[in-house]
Amino acid sequence: MVVTKHPGVVPCAHCKQQPGSEDCQVCTKVVCQDCGARWQSCDQVVARELRLGMGQRLIDVDKDGHYGVVQHMLSRKRRLFDLRRTAYVALYEALPHGSIVSGQRFARIEPEPVSTSAHQDTGFTTTLTIASLMSVSRVHIVEVNQAPPQGFSLATKDSAACVTLADQTVRLVSVKHGQTTRHVPLPGKVIQASALDDAAGLLFTATFGYAQLDHIDDTLASDKIGRLRIWDGDAYWVGVGKQAAATITRSSINVGTLGHIEAWQTEPPFERIAHIKLRASGDSAFRWTEPDSVALSDDGRFLAYALNRYQVMVNDLVSGDTTLFSGHTDPVNLVRFAANDTLLITADRDNRVFIRPRVGDTFVDRSVAVRLAEDPVDLAPLASDDDVS
C-alpha cells in the first residue's frame, strides 16, 4: 500500500519545524510557507534566475545581496526589491530618483547650478543624502564646487561615501558624523574615477595615464601608498579590494582595441597581475554604455564584467582562470559581488536577474527559475545594520 503525504501533514523539509504547505521552487520538496517565500532557505547549490516584470530593471544591489533598486525603463520610477523573498517592499515603492542602496541605507546625490560670485560664475551645490531604510534619520552634506560630481558610492562597510568631483578632488564623507574631508590625490589632474574600501582602508583614484593608492584611516585622512602608471586612456572605472586594485581605460591609440583592464597588487612593489585587452569586435566586445557592468570582489580576487552584450566574464586574479556565464537575453546592465563575495548578481535590460552562489573558487553556472511574489512584503530588519545618526 502506498501512503501519500499531503502538504500540511509532513514537516517542512528545510526548517523541520513548521508543517509543509507548498513545494520549494528550487528542490521541489514540501516546505512551509515561510521557507517557500525565501528561496535562500534551500541548501541546494544552484543559481537562481528571476524575472522582475515587464519594463523593470535591477540597477543596484546592496552589499549583503538582500535588497536591490529596480527602475522602470519608461517611467524611471524606482522601487526597493527584496532579492531573498523575491518581492517588492511595500513602503519603498517610490524611491527618490538617483537613489542607490547599500545595506539598510539608501543614498542619492543632487547637483544644482548656482551663482558663485558677482560675475555670475556658475558653480554647483552638491547635496548628498544618506538615509536609513528603518528610520527617517538622514545625513545631508551640502558643498559648493566649481564642477558637478562625476559619481559617488557607499564604501564596503557603509561607514563612508566617496564622491568624485571634476575639479581634481575627491570628497570622503563620514556616514555617521556627516563630516567631509577633501583629497587631492593627483595634483593638477582631473580625477576621472575613484573607489573606496573602508574595510581595507584604501582609496584608489585614476586619471589619464595614472592611478594612485592611498591609505585611509578612521578619520578619513589619507596617506599616499604609491602611484601607478596605467595604460594611456581615460579612466572609465576603478575598483579596489583587500588584495587588488583594478582599472579600465578607454583606448585612444590602438586601432581595434576599445580599452584595457589592468589589475595590481595593493602592496609594494604593486605588481601588475592582470592585463586584458578589450577588443572592438569578436568575443571580447565590452559594454561601454553600462558603467555598472563591472565589479571587483571585496577581497580583490575576482573581476567580473559584461561581455558580448549578453554574457558575463569572471577573471580569477589569483589563479588566472576565467569563467564565462551565459543566460541573459538582453544587454547586461549590472554586475555585482555581494554577501562577502559569496554571491555574483547580474541583471540585464530585459528584467532578468541571475544570483550565482560561490562554491570554492568559482561561481555556479546551472540555474533554476524562481517566481516573483504576488504581494509586496514588509522591510525585514538586518541585525548587522545601524541607523544613520
Domain annotation for the chain: domains and CATH numbers: 1-44 (no CATH), 45-369 (2.130.10.10)
The Cα angle at residue 210 between residues 207 and 213, in degrees rounded to 5: 95
pLDDT at position 137 over 50: no
Q: In which band, very low, low, confident or very high, does the pLDDT at 122 lie, cut at 50, 70 and 90?
A: low
The Cα angle at residue 351 between residues 129 and 30, in degrees rounded to 5: 105
Question: The cell 591609440 sits on which residue?
Answer: 253
Residue 214 has a pLDDT of 96
Q: Is 140 helix (H, G, I), strand (E, B) or coil?
A: strand
Residue 117 has a pLDDT of 46
Give the C-alpha separation, 264 to 282, whole Å.
Answer: 26
Q: In which band, very low, low, confident or very high, does the pLDDT at 159 lie, cut at 50, 70 and 90?
A: confident
Pairing label, strands 302-307, 311-316: antiparallel
Residue 78 has a pLDDT of 86
Q: Is 41 helix (H, G, I), strand (E, B) or coil?
A: helix
Give the C-alpha separation, 248 to 235, whole Å.
Answer: 6
- Contact at 8 Å (CB) between 376 and 114? no
Segment 53-101, tens digit of pLDDT: 999 999 888 888 888 889 898 888 888 899 988 999 887 666 766 666 6
- Contact at 8 Å (CB) between 135 and 387? yes
pLDDT at position 161 over 90: no
Segment 263-282, tens digit of pLDDT: 999 998 999 998 888 776 54
pLDDT at position 142 over 60: no
Report how far apart the first and last C-alpha atoms of the chain are (Å, whole number).
65
Give the C-alpha separation, 334 to 346, whole Å.
Answer: 5
Residue 264 has a pLDDT of 94
Q: Is 205 helix (H, G, I), strand (E, B) or coil?
A: strand
Residue 229 has a pLDDT of 94
Give the global pTM: 0.82
